[in-house]
Amino acid sequence: MKTIYSAIQPSGIMTLGNYIGAVDNWHRMQADANNKCIFALADLHTITVRQDPQKFHENAMSFYALLLALGIDPKKSIVYFQSHVQEHAYLSWLLNCYTMVGEMNRMTQFKDKSQKHADNVNMGLMDYPVLMAADILLYNTDEVPVGYDQLQHIEIARDIAERVNGIYGDIFTIPKGVLTKVGAKVMSLQDPLSKMSKSDPNPKSYISVLDDDATIMKKFKSAVTDSETEIRFDPENKPGVSNLLTILAVAQNKSIDEVVKDFDGLMYGHLKVRTGEAVCEMLKPMKEEYNRLIKDEAYLMKCAKEGAEQAHDIAIDTLNRFKKAIGFVTL
Ligand code: AQP
């Protein structure tokens, strides 16, 4: 069996980028009987950026319900909150002692977020990749489905694991990052050179998977394209148009070439409207299921508790193995 592990931060409302780049892939991997899947809400990571307590709480519950509504099934996969399994923070401390400050300083996300949150460049923001390495390594993970932006963090998790294994022998499984074939980097609708992000201050730049249809259509109609007229897939020279084609291909479950053919002789306006309509259609069943689940807090908490217990059972074994190898006195 292959162990698949991935996580998402409840730092706002899930975007179409998170869905296409990550969660949709989780769903596909869960369907394979050879995979043992573990999915977490990375709520410890979320507080690296200051959160309003009530909003943070609501977002975390909402994210959990969303994952189930998107087909992540607690009967098939372990689905839990990172903060409910204490081994994450513990292993993160241990791994800190095997990670170099220079390595963390080089991380692209750290540099980006330090600029965006210049008034709060806290240690957690810098340490984000080490906590992520702990998440992944605790579960003897083989593959980590992520969007393109997280590949650098997977690389550092591998480096840390190899360093530890080099000192103590076979402690950790070396994980591999897995990208979705289409949509590993969904771009902002307002600035197609940067990725779509749920904490972008401009809500027109992203589609939240809970946006209503009218809002989705409005956001797609105002998507930034270019001053030409030809519809072709060319991410370098036509990033806005290529981003819309990517989203449409995923929403219609077609290849990009097939989608491009459908627009022979048509204009950018048609592309924007069709992409908006296809996304509304794709998200409709999920929204209905979400509206049902979010009212059933008792069920959500029952699933979260069971998920945390299952996760803990695996995590504690890995943590103890590592502690023993380091030489800690155990009770
Ligand atoms: N635009 C994107 N395209 C494809 N995949 C994406 N992911 C994020 N944005 C895109 C993937 O979604 C997963 C969960 O991401 P995360 O919440 O842990 O953190 P993030 O990568 O920092 O995502 P955001 O939306 O940009 O969050 P904020 O705004 O809070 O920083 C990951 O697998 C990620 O690759």
pLDDT at 263: 94
The whole-number pLDDT of residue 183 equals: 87
**Alpha carbon of 18 to ligand 1 centroid (Å):** 5
Q: For residues 241-251, b (16+ Cβ closer than 10 Å) or e, as one string?
A: bbbbbbbbbbb
Q: What is the whole-number distance in angstroms between the Cα of residue 169 and the centre of ligand 1?
A: 33
Query: What is the separation of C-alpha 74 from the centre of its chain, rounded to a whole number of angstroms?
Result: 18
* Coil vs helix vs strand at 201: coil
Task: For residue 289, give Cα distances in angstroms to 35, 125, 149, 179, 275.
Answer: 25, 34, 29, 27, 23
What is the predicted pLDDT for the residue at 181?
A: 85
Taking the CB of residue 114, how many other CB atoms lie within 10 A of it?
16
Distance CA 200, CA 205 (A): 7
What is the C-alpha separation between 53 and 58, in angstroms, rounded? 9
Q: What's the rounded Cα separation, in Å, for the pair 13 and 323?
A: 37
Q: Residue 331: what pLDDT?
A: 85
CA of 108 to the centre of ligand 1 (A): 13
CA of 230 to the centre of ligand 1 (A): 30
- Atom number in ligand 1 closest to CA 149: 35
Could you tell which of 131, 193, 197 is best to mutate to test the pocket of ligand 1, judged by most ligand atoms within 8 Å of the CB? 197
Atom from ligand 1 closest to the CA of residue 148: 35
**Residue nearest ligand 1's atom 15 by CA:** 8
Strand ordering across the sheet containing 2-8: 78-81, 35-41, 2-8, 143-145, 176-178
Pairing of the two strands 35-41 and 143-145: unpaired
Shortest-distance atom of ligand 1 to CA 200: 29
Give the CA diameter of the chain.
Answer: 74
Q: Which of 44, 23, 35, 18 is nearest to 134 (CA)?
A: 44
From first to last of its 331 residues, the chain has per-residue pLDDT tens of 999 999 999 998 899 999 999 999 999 999 999 999 999 999 999 999 999 999 999 999 999 999 999 999 999 999 999 999 999 999 999 999 999 999 999 999 999 999 989 999 999 999 999 999 999 999 999 999 999 999 999 999 999 999 999 999 999 999 999 998 888 999 999 999 999 999 899 999 999 999 999 999 999 999 999 999 999 999 999 999 999 999 999 999 999 999 999 999 899 999 999 999 999 999 999 999 999 999 999 999 999 999 999 999 999 999 999 999 999 998 8
Give the pocket of ligand 1 (CB within 6 Å).
Answer: 8-9, 11, 15, 17-18, 21-22, 42, 146-147, 149-150, 184-186, 195-199
- Please tell me the predicted confidence (pLDDT) of residue 55: 96
**Alpha helix positions (H), the chain:** 16-18, 24-30, 43-46, 53-69, 87-96, 101-105, 108-116, 123-138, 151-168, 213-221, 239-252, 256-261, 268-293, 297-326
Residue 225: which residues within 8 A CB-CB, separation 6 or more?
238, 240, 241, 244, 268, 272
Is the full-model pTM beyond 0.75?
A: yes
How far is residue 68's CA from residue 246's CA, in Å, rounded to a whole number?
25
